Amino acid sequence: MEPVRRPGGRSARVRTAVHEAVLDLLGMEDWDSLSIAQVAERSGVHQATLYRRWGTLGALIDDVVTERLSQGSPVPDTGTLRGDLEAYAVQVAADVAGPLGPLYVRAAQVGTRVHDDDQLYMMDRAVQLQGMLERAAARGESPPTLLELMEVVIAPLYYHAIFFNRPVGADHARTLVDRLLSLPQ
Amino acid sequence: MEPVRRPGGRSARVRTAVHEAVLDLLGMEDWDSLSIAQVAERSGVHQATLYRRWGTLGALIDDVVTERLSQGSPVPDTGTLRGDLEAYAVQVAADVAGPLGPLYVRAAQVGTRVHDDDQLYMMDRAVQLQGMLERAAARGESPPTLLELMEVVIAPLYYHAIFFNRPVGADHARTLVDRLLSLPQ
């Protein structure tokens, strides 16, 4: 049986401290060189506790990723299709450029093992984006499909960050939205 | 001093056997569960030899990736821009869909450490693709830029494979080429 954990209790504080340590370390280290020992030292939580609670470094990182994804920014609702798309594109560009960028890539690769939580997040996000496009259609605008949005705007943002380690800025994100909106209907 | 190694000698045979074992195992296992012990068992090469030669599993995988990348298919030269682009897109779609697909993603992530060999490969590939586009211009066609090719065609192919673990087929690859060729000049 799971022990009862009071929210905000010791268990939650440990989790917060450990997550913060992982995120701090990721700002300084490559994934490959991160270790449980470093997380223990930085968080002040015993290695034995980390192993007991998370089992492996991989499982701990998954937990951090899932937590961050669940706190993701809401899908924009600015009143216009272009406004929504630009706000969303700029936000994704900032996300992948930030210190947490590698988390998303890691989550994606972890995704080959199909984590229920990550899958749910991806589906949930797709549903929200679909809603954003449907609001535009309801206003009489002609939105692209969700597939077009992902391929024309989101994929290049990740591609630049992943393959060239050189994420793009807000201006380029807006250029991608221009391209999306100029697709033949 | 590096010991002299005869090409095709014992050292080369060991490398071939070990690389084949890694590739076989990747067809069956997740990256996360792959181990030096498994590679030793499958290749028939002692663990001690693997550790002495490659140091870590990560370094071994890097070696496999670099080797495969250097054997990559040549950039197409079919005589027409559309022909070249379609052949290239279909080839990339097949590459990321194949059992080696995860290698490319791994190479990309490894790229954050900037391997000289991987960097050289990427630059070399970019030069070849640029040459393909310049041949089209020389024939009087109006090619896209290399950036447009990467963003509109290559990025979505990787995106589908990486983020949804669902690579696209040749037909969809050709649809992306249609989109690229319909961009406003």
- For A62-111, how does the pLDDT look when each residue is reduced to its tens digit (9 = 90+)? 788 777 766 766 789 999 999 999 999 998 888 887 766 766 666 555 44
Q: Residue A84, by phi and psi: left (phi above 0), alpha (psi -120 to 50) or beta?
A: alpha
The stretches in chain B having pLDDT less than 50 are 1-2, 110-114
Dmax (CA) for chain B in angstroms is: 59
Contact B93, B167 (CB under 8 A): yes
Dihedral in degrees, nearest 10, Cα atoms A101, B176, B136, B126? 20
Torsion angle defined by CA atoms of residues A93, A168, B169 and A110, in that order, rounded to the nearest 10 degrees? -50
Q: What does R_g of chain A's alpha carbons equal in angstroms? A: 19
Q: With a cut of 0.85, is the ipTM above it?
A: no
Superfamily of domain A10-66: Homeodomain-like (1.10.10.60)
CATH topology for B10-64 is: Arc Repressor Mutant, subunit A (1.10.10)
A 107-146 near B (Cβ less than 8 A): 108-114, 122
Would the CB atoms of A151 and B156 count as touching at under 8 Å? yes
CATH number of B72-181: 1.10.357.10
Percent of chain A exceeding pLDDT 70 equals 76
A chain contacts of residue B31, beta-carbon cutoff 8 Å:
109
More confident residue, A45 or A35: A45
* Rounded Cα distance, A91 and A97, in Å: 10
Encoded tokens for B108: 């990309």
Say which amino acid occupies B113.
R
Q: Does A100 touch chain B (CB under 8 A)?
A: no
Q: Which of B102, B109, B158 sits opposite A159 (nearest CB)?
A: B158
> Where exactly are the structural domains of chain B?
10-64, 72-181
- Specify the amino acid at residue A70: S
Q: Which two tokens stand for residue B120?
A: 């050289």
**Closest to B130 measured CA to CA, from B75, B83, B90, B173:** B75
Task: Give B-chain residues touching A108 at CB under 8 angstroms.
Answer: 162-163
**Could you give the residue ranges of the DSSP H alpha helices within chain B?**
10-26, 36-43, 47-54, 57-70, 81-97, 101-110, 116-138, 146-149, 155-163, 170-181
Residue B35 structure tokens: 């181990």
Residues 6 or more apart whose Cβ sits within 8 Å of residue B68: B100, B103
